[in-house]
Amino acid sequence: MNYQAYAHIYDDEYRDYTEDIQFYVRWARRCAAPALELGCGTGRILLALAEAGCPVWGLELCEPMLQRAQEKLAKLPAHVAETVRLVQGDMRDFDLGQEFGLIYLPFREFMHLASEDDQLNCLDAIHRHLTPNGRLIINLYDMDLVTLSQRSESNVPLYRQHGGDYVDPRNGQKVFLSSASHYKPATQTLHEERFYDRVDEQGAVVERRMVTITQRWFFRWEMHHLLHRANFRVHELYGGYDRQPVGEMGSEMIFIARPANEKELQSEVEWLENKLARIRTSKKRS
Ligand SMILES: C[S@@+](CC[C@H](N)C(=O)[O-])C[C@H]1O[C@@H](n2cnc3c(N)ncnc32)[C@H](O)[C@@H]1O
């Protein structure tokens, strides 16, 4: 997504989206401090954690998004602000010189990683930064297959009105959201163009802005295997922030994973050694 162009409208669009915040606050309280948010954006969740007394670091690629977070951080009381560290960096390759009891990727951040290499590099970097008893939380969309197939049937994008219209607090003007999206099954990517139409008091459109977003789609067991391959184990899986079971179509997938322990890794090493031995034996025979 082009977050450079998005930074100035992000907080207006998601001002009322708070349903995930307490979920992460609860996990941050359960895990050893500090927590780390990858792709922390303008600090929507991260700053709420800090205000709830949870020390937290944020890593963010896009400078204007991080700048917004820094401006908001500067307005917090000093004793809260000093528990926060904001770092510009890439979640596919980072070295913060610090271990974390919780690393979380909320609001479908992992879906920005299109290639298998990017996904595995990110999971590897997370593994290096997580304490042995730490937790990794990854939130993904769980969109129903009917909607996905509607969006992939033709090259004509499906236009729909968002529920996210908002009022610009600076001038009271309404901003209407709509989008065109197209899902490509072959690459499991959904490409979306979002339009932000600012209207005046008479309802006339006075400005149209567009941002584009491409997200890599993940299915439940694909993610399960990916985590396993990166030496994590799925500890819990939820379909929403009230910890409801996964599978209620159109909702969320929230993976809670932990690093594999020594015994689990040892049994994988033995499995691979056996496999290698069999390959070597059959090579000798042929
Ligand atoms: C959907 S926004 C979410 C922001 C924030 N976590 C929230 O919940 O409001 C995704 C964020 O991930 C950031 N991002 C995307 N790719 C990234 C990468 N490779 N490394 C670090 N941040 C990245 C974007 O710049 C953007 O700020």
pLDDT category of residue 147 using cuts at 50, 70 and 90:
confident
Please give the sequence-ordered ranges of beta strands (E in DSSP) within the chain, or none if there are none. Answer: 35-38, 56-60, 84-88, 100-105, 130-142, 158-161, 166-167, 174-184, 189-199, 205-216, 232-238, 251-259
Kindly tell me if the per-residue pLDDT of 119 is higher than 90: yes
Average pLDDT, the chain: 91
- Ligand 1, atom 8, residue with closest C-alpha: 107
Q: What is the mean pLDDT of residues 71-96?
A: 98
Top mutation candidate among 57, 93, 109, 216 for ligand 1, by most atoms within 8 Å of CB: 109
* Closest atom of ligand 1 to CA, residue 10: 9
Residue 90: CB within 6 Å of ligand 1? yes
Kindly tell me if the per-residue pLDDT of 73 is higher than 90: yes
* Closest atom of ligand 1 to CA, residue 44: 9
3-class DSSP assignment, residue 73: helix
As given in the structure block, the two tokens for residue 90 are: 């890439």
What are the tens digits of pLDDT across the range 178-231? 888 888 999 999 998 888 888 888 888 998 888 899 999 999 999 999 999 999
Residue 176's pLDDT is 87
Which CATH entry fits the domain spanning 3-143+218-285: 3.40.50.150, 3.40.50.1220, 3.10.350.10, 3.30.70.1350?
3.40.50.150
pLDDT category of residue 249 using cuts at 50, 70 and 90:
low
Kindly tell me if the per-residue pLDDT of 30 is higher than 90: yes
Answer positive or negative: Cα dihedral of 237, 242, 245, 247: negative
Residue 60: CB within 6 Å of ligand 1? yes
What are the tens digits of pLDDT across the range 98-108? 999 999 999 99
Calculate what percentage of the chain has a pLDDT beyond 90: 66
Residue 92: CB within 6 Å of ligand 1? yes
